[in-house]
Amino acid sequence: MSLPLNSHDDFEGFGREVFGQKFFGRKFSERKLPGRKLFERKLPGRKLSLFLDFDGTLAPIAGTPALAELPPASREVLRRLCFIYPVAVISGRGLVDIREKVGLTGITYGANHGMTIRSGPSGPGSRLSGTVSQPSGSACRGFEMDYDVGAERLVELRAAAKVLGAVEARYEGLVMEDKGATLSLHYRQLPGVQVEALMKELDNELAPFKERGLVRVTGGKKVVELRPDVDWNKGRAVEWILGREPFISTYPVYIGDDETDRDGFRAVRGIGASVYVGAEDKDTSYHMEQSSVVGFLRWLIEFGVSR
């Protein structure tokens, strides 16, 4: 099971378990590790890299996607963090949206669940089709990638967007997002008594799309998402980014709160640490409360300066 990562003692324990180091000359707190072999992952001298979800991780969950905001104090911590570690924000939001929400340069953005990646200044980039990838750009120039989902799947998504738009119009409290390569239907503000009816209607309306197999229907926290049915997700995006400078040979720490983040957790298993924002979790290294995220990132700044 995951270990807690909410207090200063927990943060120090993380440093010891991952790097086997002291913090400002003080001994790290001892913690019981039943059935765990975290010490096998000690990587002295290896630099951290950070992969962070946005909604529910960096920013508190809001009633609608438009209302979600990154607190100014968190933005400042994130800005300082980028001077010490390579940082990527991996989100289901569209590229323009997530860039505006975070509002920082010097960060790698993985939008649309990692299907659109931008890092640093715009460069020549690369386009992926299937599982083939090619390096692009350099550390100073940045890199970019757009996953090619194929014309047929894009046409299918356009048709699905019309269906979801019609469903949205029939319910008070639904918010549909069309992000080009993905679609989201948020029902956080829908009265609870209507959720069952909505799910039944969506099952009927989306059945033809499921049968054709060109798009994938998934769920999240009060959201139904449609994505191209391709072999690409947040985890694949993490793996791709880890093959580019300045992420190469780093120890990746992935922090997220949603089901789509589990692909990211799997991507860093055995080579890094996974942190679930929520209750104790059997599939991740650590768990934390959303209110502890910025404190942990602030601690990482101090830890990085002290090394």
CATH number, residue 175:
3.30.70.1020
How does residue 16 score in pLDDT terms, banded at 50, 70 and 90? confident
Mean pLDDT of all residues belonging to the chain: 86
Regarding whether 18 and 69 lie in a shared domain, the answer is: yes
Counted domains in the chain: 2
CATH of residue 123's domain is 3.40.50.1000
**118-144: b (≥16 Cβ within 10 Å) or e:** bbbeebebbebeeeebeebbeeeebbb
Q: Are residues 188 and 206 in the same domain?
A: yes
Task: Say if residue 13 is in the same domain as residue 93.
Answer: yes
Whole-number pLDDT of residue 141: 57
The Cα 176–Cα 140 span in angstroms is 37
Asked whether the CA dihedral 237, 267, 231, 276 is positive or negative, the reply is negative
- What residues act catalytically? 53
Other Cβ atoms within 10 Å of 235 Cβ, number: 23
Which letter does DSSP use for residue 122 in this model?
Answer: -
State whether 8 and 60 are in the same domain.
yes
- Structure confidence at residue 129 as a pLDDT band (50, 70, 90): very low
146 vs 181: CA distance, rounded Å: 10
Same domain, yes or no: 62 and 194: no
56 plus 205 within the same structural domain: no
Tell me the pLDDT tens digit for each residue of 171-208: 999 999 999 999 999 999 999 999 999 999 999 999 99
Q: Exposed, middle or buried: residue 106 (CB in 10 Å: 0-12, 13-18, 19+)?
A: middle
Residue 130 has pLDDT above 70, yes or no: no
Task: Determine what percent of the chain is predicted with pLDDT higher than 90.
Answer: 77
Give the C-alpha separation, 141 to 136, whole Å.
Answer: 9
Residue 162 neighbours by CB distance under 10 Å: 10
- 127 & 20 share domain: yes
The domain boundary residue, chosen from 228, 258, 275 = 228
206/174 same-domain check = yes
CA–CA dist 92, 107 (Å, integer): 16
State whether 106 and 208 are in the same domain: no
What is the per-residue pLDDT for 17?
A: 86
Residues 256, 178 within the same domain:
no
For residues 10 and 142, state if they share a domain: yes
* pLDDT reported for residue 303: 84
Domain closes at, from 176, 201, 228: 228
**pLDDT tens digits, 276-296:** 999 999 999 999 999 999 999
Nearest to 307 by CA among 31, 46, 111, 14: 46
Does residue 128 have a pLDDT over 80?
no
Are residues 175 and 215 located together in one domain of the fold? yes
For 7, the domain range is 3-149+232-306
From 228, 262, 289, the end of a domain falls on: 228
